[in-house]
Amino acid sequence: MALELPPLPYDRTALAPHISERTLEFHHGKHHAAYVTNGNNLIKDTPLADKPIEEIILAAAGDASKAGIFNNAAQVWNHTFFWNCMRPGGGGTPSGEVARRIDQAFGSYDKFAEAFKQAAVTQFGSGWAWLVQDGGELKIVKTANADLPLAHGQKALLTVDVWEHAYYLDYQNRRPDFVQSFLDNLVNWDFVQQNLEKSA
Ligand code: FE
């Protein structure tokens, strides 16, 4: 099957106390897993069954008859990407090329962090906040539900999941506290750097 559930890139206890073992148990083990199962059921015995995930997403984007495929495949991609956006002992200011690009685009890390947090907090309902590269320029965008930069010709560099399932067990309704903790303690800037270097 084309859609897969990769193991978390760290132990389920590794992001505590910022994200608890219980949250990761549900978020990765139940939510992410369900998108994989549901997506695979929808593409089974269709021409998309063995295609790479990005192809599945782009083939279904904007096609109302394939909304279920888009939503599940995009959520599989988003979650796999999100896990890699974090690491134990991460967060804070980046260095090197990433720092230079962020300063260039936003003026300073603090201004970037403020704008990223604002996007995450103001996303109404379920969705994602992203740092993307769009035509060579770094931008902050937010997307609703399963939507993602790939469907808008943008390259994803960093994301935070702001669906309630991402933070409710640990932060209840305090989404701003979750996003602040993500920025201060979890961001894997090495992964952002790797994404920046990718050609596509
Ligand atoms: Fe999620």
- Range with the poorest average pLDDT among 55-59, 136-140, 196-200: 196-200
Report the distance separating Cα 77 and Cα 127, nearest Å. Answer: 13
Instruction: Kindly state the average pLDDT of the residues 27-42.
Output: 98
What percent of the chain has a predicted confidence (pLDDT) above 90?
Answer: 98
- Read off the pLDDT of residues 100-132 as tens digits, 9 standing for 90 and up: 999 999 999 999 999 999 999 999 999 999 999
Cα distance between residue 148 and residue 128, in whole Å: 8
pLDDT of residue 199: 75
- 4: helix, strand or coil: coil
Structural domains of the chain in order of their starting residue, each with its CATH number: 21-84 (1.10.287.990), 96-198 (3.55.40.20)
Using the structure block, give the residue that is written with the tokens 């603090």.
Answer: 110
Q: How many angstroms is it from 104 CA to the middle of ligand 1?
A: 31
Distance 79 CA to ligand 1 centre (A): 6
Tell me the two tokens of residue 126.
């379920």
**How far, in Å, from the CA of 31 to the mean position of ligand 1?**
7
- DSSP letter string, 96-138: HHHHHHHHHHHSSHHHHHHHHHHHHHHS-SSEEEEEEEETTEE
pLDDT at 64: 95
Question: Distance from the CA of 107 to the center of ligand 1, in angstroms?
Answer: 30
Under DSSP, is residue 157 helix (H, G, I), strand (E, B) or coil?
Answer: strand
Average pLDDT of 6-16?
98
Position 1 scores a pLDDT of 58
> What pLDDT digit, counting tens, does each position of 51-108 carry?
999 999 999 999 999 999 999 999 999 999 999 999 999 999 999 999 999 999 999 9
Cα(28) to centroid(ligand 1), Å: 8
CA angle 103, 107, 111 (to 5 degrees): 105
Closest CA to 75 of 50, 44, 108, 42: 42
Q: Ligand 1 centre from 166 Cα, in Å?
A: 5
Look-up: residue for tokens 């897969």?
4
Tokens of 81: 């990407």
pLDDT of residue 23: 98
What pLDDT sits at residue 200? 58
pTM higher than 0.75 = yes
In total, the chain counts a number of residues equal to 200
How remote is the CA of residue 130 from the centroid of ligand 1, in Å?
Answer: 14
Distance 50 CA to ligand 1 centre (A): 24
Determine the average pLDDT of the residues in 22-39.
Answer: 98
